[in-house]
Structure 1
Amino acid sequence: MPWLAVQVALVAVVCFFLGSVNPASLLARALGRDLRSSGSGNPGATNAGRVLGTKWGVLVLVLDVGKAWLPTWVVLRSMGTVPALVAGFAVVLGHVYSPFLRGKGGKGVACALGTVLAVEPFVALGAVVVFLVTKTLVPFVGEASVVAVLGIGVVGLLGAVGVVPGISVTVGIWLVLISAVVLSRHRRNILAWWSRRVR
């Protein structure tokens, strides 16, 4: 196996375990709470803010974005785009399927934002704008998050077919995969929201 492939494999493993470290759960435990049995049961920023308080929710959000942005950015600068895409995808997978939480990690929105911010910052900023606009129209953070992540996936799909200038086919496919992982964690919510709207 070529040395570069070995390096990329090592990056993937390290980034997966970095993503697996869940700040929300660690903070909740330090404060004597259990997010898995409180609020929505999700070990993420929104539930941390609901259960622990707004300042802790904001801190979790920053940490989740940061733990995805930093390794992706470092790998991007030191090894190039494709290894960075592997790193970012691994972080998101680690966060969503954390072995430290028995495979039931967070929903991955903040991590997805962080890793996309490192590779395609304008796409990430666009997703933030979409989230903020959508949040003024819908009552739940989760719904706005789904719309924002779906937006990232649409941009990725358009990039993959060459419609969006500046986004390569590889990066476009990566954006679609990142979105698909995050949306899969929201599938129950999506079905519940859809059923409410078609009644």
Structure 2
Amino acid sequence: MSTGSVLTAIALVVFGYLVGSLSPSVWLGRIFKGIDIREHGSGNAGTTNAFRLLGTRLGIAVLLADFLKGVIPVVVAQFLSTPLVTVIVAFVCVLGHNYSIFLRGRGGKGVATGAGAATGMMPIPMVILVVLFAVLSFGTRIISIASITCTILLPIIAFLFHQPLPYIVGCCLMSLVVLWAHRRNIVRLLRREEPRAVFPWNKKPAGPAG
């Protein structure tokens, strides 16, 4: 690689980590609800806790923002550099989300940002995982089951769809980071203690006043 290519690669990696470190859930919680999302619910600065604490509309906004945090740096890297650099950028996006420099090393669990990064690398195969995630989330109402299952399947899907070797390796690395972030969820699942999500259509209507 030329000096210019090396500098471009370094800039892309730094850009990916900084974008990944942005925390829309914390910002929106402070602006619209006057709370620090890290001090409530699961204490996690991610999408699931945002839905739980901020409501459906703000939760969707956080989901889209976290997803785009993965997509944008990866797509930029694809245009400006090599597949290897693209994979590194995808990986550091997830690292930034989970271990944000702006949140003193805290963050989310990397599912939405990892999905965004993977979509940037291989959009068509990711359609399968997005559909599966939705089916498992709504079917079981246990978001961690959907997250963990799709995380495990990510490198397998990459392999089955004949993605470049760097992309397959990158998917493996991202999956390991996301699974590590879910280690407590895995323990609760094994103990059958993992809480179920409450979707708007699952809420019972309020009874008559009186």
For 1:5, the aligned partner's letter is V
Check conservation: 2:16, 2:90, Cα contact below 8 A: yes
For 1:167, the aligned partner's letter is Q
Task: Give the equivalent residue in structure 2 for 1:39.
Answer: 41
**Partner SS, residue 103 of structure 1:** coil
Task: Give the equivalent residue in structure 2 for 1:125.
Answer: 127
Deviation at 1:155? Answer: 2.7
**Partner SS, residue 196 of structure 1:** coil
For 1:192, the aligned partner's letter is R
Larger Rg: 2
Task: Give the equivalent residue in structure 1 for 2:199.
Answer: none
Deviation at 1:195? Answer: 2.6
1:193 to 189, 200, 203: 189
Task: Give the equivalent residue in structure 2 for 1:10.
Answer: 11
* Cα RMSD after superposing both structures: 1.7
Task: Give the equivalent residue in structure 2 for 1:107.
Answer: 109
Task: Give the equivalent residue in structure 1 for 2:66.
Answer: 64
Structure 1 runs of 4+ with >6 Å offset: none
Of 86-95 and 57-66, the range deviating more from structure 2:
86-95
Task: Give the equivalent residue in structure 2 for 1:92.
Answer: 94
For 2:63, the aligned partner's letter is L
Question: TM-score, length-normalised on structure 1?
Answer: 0.89
Number of aligned residues: 191
Could you list the runs of 5+ residues in structure 2 that have no partner in the other structure?
A: 194-210
**Cα distance between partner residues in 2 of 1:165 and 1:26:** 37
2:168 to 166, 169, 172: 172
**Cα distance between partner residues in 2 of 1:124 and 1:180:** 18
2:142 to 131, 140, 143: 140
**Partner SS, residue 8 of structure 2:** helix
Check conservation: 1:123, 1:152, Cα contact below 8 A: no
Question: TM-score, length-normalised on structure 2?
Answer: 0.85
**Cα distance between partner residues in 2 of 1:154 and 1:138:** 23
**Cα distance between partner residues in 2 of 1:136 and 1:49:** 14
Check conservation: 1:8, 1:86, Cα contact below 8 A: no
Could you list the runs of 5+ residues in structure 1 that have no partner in the other structure?
A: none
Task: Give the equivalent residue in structure 1 for 2:25.
Answer: 24
Task: Give the equivalent residue in structure 2 for 1:183.
Answer: 179
Query: In 2 relative to 1, CA 134–181 (structure 1 residues): closer, same or farther, beyond 3 Å?
Result: same
Question: Relative contact order (alpha carbons < 8 A, sep ≥ 6): 1 or 2 greater?
Answer: 2
